[in-house]
Amino acid sequence: MTASRPSLDLVAIGRVSVDLYGQQIGSRLEDIASFAKGVGGCPANVAIGAARLGLRAALVTRVGDEPMGRFVREQLAREGVDTRAVGVDAQRLTPLVLLAVRDSASFPLIFYRENCADSVLSPDDVDAQLIASARAVLVTGTHFSLATGALAQRKAIDVARARGRSVILDIDYRPNLWGIGGHDAGESRYARSARVTEALSGVLPDCDLIVGTEEEMHIAGGAEDTLAALRRIRAGSRAVLVVKRGAAGCVVFADAIPERIEDGLVVCGMPIEVYNVLGAGDAFLAGFLRGYLRDEPLERSARYGNACGALAVSRLLCSSEFPSLIELEHYLAHGSAQRALRLDAQLNHLHWVTTARRGPGRVCALAARAGAEPLAIAAAAQAGAGSEGVGVLLEATAGPEVRLAAQRAGLWVAQRVELPLARPLELAAASLSAALSEWPSGVTVACRCEFPAGAGDELQAREARSLERVAAACRAHGRELLLEIGAGRPAEVMARIYGLGIRPDWWALAMPADAAALGQCARAIEAGDAYCRGVLLVLEGESERAAQLLAAAAGAGVVRGFIVGGSIAHDAARLRALLAVWESVEDGH
């Protein structure tokens, strides 16, 4: 019987975690003061990496019925990973991993996995129809260390074989997850174990692709010489074998094992600085599968893998730092002048615009005056109930209770960070970075800037330095940036700011702006940053005139919404009226 056309490219099975990465590089884990959070665990990492590269991926695992489990499910969904088989366990917690970067060769970590949710993954969690709907199933060595996990993966393999699907094994050897070494041995990557070799030996014949480091091939083959291990694996498996070799790249063996490793298909790595190796192998596999599951040549698949691994190893986190397809293609086409890829401004920008948690595609917001925020929040919530991107722009003086109230109302929220009327630009907080660390996620940074005509060089330079600090703080804290400029010569100011290397997510442009001015702005944005979200029109004054201006400008492709101010008594009515104008233009009326 001919197998039906698969609707998914990949189903990955096994462990998932919330990774907490120490942000103080060079510190012992004992001395870490703050952590960055991301989704981790080999199968989850590969699923996210594959989805970012355009593959249709699903994950089979379990998480706890608590905030960390909800974070995992929500983040997987944001990444485009199918979560229908991510079960919720009411009795167990989502596992955690604490990690640190001491230096280029030392990465201490602790697995918190005692009786965790994914440790009881069972055959009942494996939907045969889901497995059959995918071109390939990915199983991992670690889950063969667990009795029910091994049965779950065996079921998936059997379904895949019966339906003519591919089986991929990531050896993913973590000795202490097999009970070898204590809790303090999380960093260990290899320990000899006949028990592990025996557990994996029954899987190898059913695999079409086996991926691992040299040490992982040693444990799978039961020999501590790489060629000998590969030959033992080949004796029982016809799989394509991919040996990851870190900075040296990888070697692929599709047929018989030659006399020398170098006689395999050698695909060299990229000359980059190693910052954090944790998760780089998962990024490699996601990249390799981008080619392998699209029937591209093995050499090209390996090149994808090496590039994804290079990008991941140059950054701190695991899946959060994996590249998008646009980012990968740019790196393969242009390389980088930086050995430390995390310092490459263009790669960082492409990563931001193609992988970040982006807000709505349009914004229709009410500017909230200081002291009147509750009224503005209520007005925006009333006027835009159920409408995407309706929100408020808060003044710099608004406190945490105001931001929280706006978010609870389901509004888009932005807040200014500059002192009003101060020129050159002066920030309201002594430390913007410290202030942003206390904001809820999803709040956009807004800032009004000026490059006044005729201003002296020193004034212009001070304005530029302040803007650069704002932009750097936004990227460091994962915030979208909205820059507001005056109506006098907006395209010229945009070009000047782009020339500084600053690429805001949004521009806010004071009205009036005629079609010619908007056209100039559109050209400046296209030249400076094709990924910019667009222009928001700042509307002031009498409502009827504002509506006329909005109707005239809203058809311009660069315009994505508006910000309106006005009297407190009429805020809801004005916002409602302008929202109706905007939606009418969107509908083509």
DSSP string, 347-358: HHHHHHHHHS--
Q: What is the CA radius of gyration of the chain?
A: 27
pLDDT, tens digit (0-9, with 9 covering 90-100), for 195-227 = 999 999 999 999 999 999 999 999 999 999 999
Which range among 186-190, 405-409, 530-534 shows the weakest confidence by mean pLDDT? Answer: 186-190
Predicted local distance difference test score (pLDDT) of residue 2: 47
Query: Taking Cα atoms as reference points, which of 530, 469, 460, 470 lies closest to residue 492?
Result: 460
Distance CA 352, CA 441 (A): 15
Q: Give me the mean pLDDT over the 80-100 stretch.
A: 97
Neighbours of 578 (CB within 10 A): 26
Q: Give me the mean pLDDT over the 295-303 stretch.
A: 98
pLDDT, tens digit (0-9, with 9 covering 90-100), for 486-521 = 877 899 999 999 999 999 999 999 875 577 888 899
Which range among 190-199, 402-411, 456-465 shows the weakest confidence by mean pLDDT? Answer: 456-465
**Stated pTM of the model:** 0.94
Query: Taking Cα atoms as reference points, which of 250, 286, 243 lies closest to residue 10?
Result: 286
> At 572, is the pLDDT very low, low, confident or very high (cuts 50, 70, 90)?
confident
- CA atoms within 13 Å, Cβ hemisphere of 103: 1
Residue 6 clears pLDDT 70, i.e. is over it: yes
Residue that is written with structure tokens 């870190």 in the block:
246
Q: Give me the mean pLDDT over the 430-436 stretch.
A: 94
Bin 556: left if φ > 0, else alpha if -120 < ψ < 50, else beta.
beta
Predicted local distance difference test score (pLDDT) of residue 1: 40
Predicted local distance difference test score (pLDDT) of residue 43: 97
Residue 180 clears pLDDT 60, i.e. is over it: yes
Chain mean pLDDT for the chain: 92
Query: Taking Cα atoms as reference points, which of 392, 457, 394, 391 lies closest to residue 420?
Result: 394
Q: What is each CA distance from 65 to 23, 68, 127, 333, 540, in whole angstroms?
A: 28, 8, 21, 44, 48
Q: Give me the mean pLDDT over the 361-377 stretch.
A: 92
Residue 587 clears pLDDT 90, i.e. is over it: no
Q: Is 446 exposed, middle or buried (0-12, 13-18, 19+ CB in 10 A)?
A: buried
Q: Give me the mean pLDDT over the 539-551 stretch.
A: 77
Biggest CA–CA distance in the chain, Å, is: 84
Percent of the chain clearing pLDDT 70 (strictly above): 96
φ, ψ of residue 414 in degrees (nearest 5): -130, 155
φ, ψ of residue 293 in degrees (nearest 5): -80, 0
Instruction: Please report the domains of the chain, with CATH numbers, ordered by start residue.
Output: 8-355 (3.40.1190.20), 363-586 (3.20.20.70)
Q: Give me the mean pLDDT over the 119-148 stretch.
A: 97
By residue count, the chain amounts to: 589
Positions of E strands within 73-130 = 86-89, 96-99, 109-112
User: 109-112 and 57-64 as β-strands: parallel, antiparallel, unpaired?
Assistant: unpaired
Residue 190 clears pLDDT 60, i.e. is over it: yes
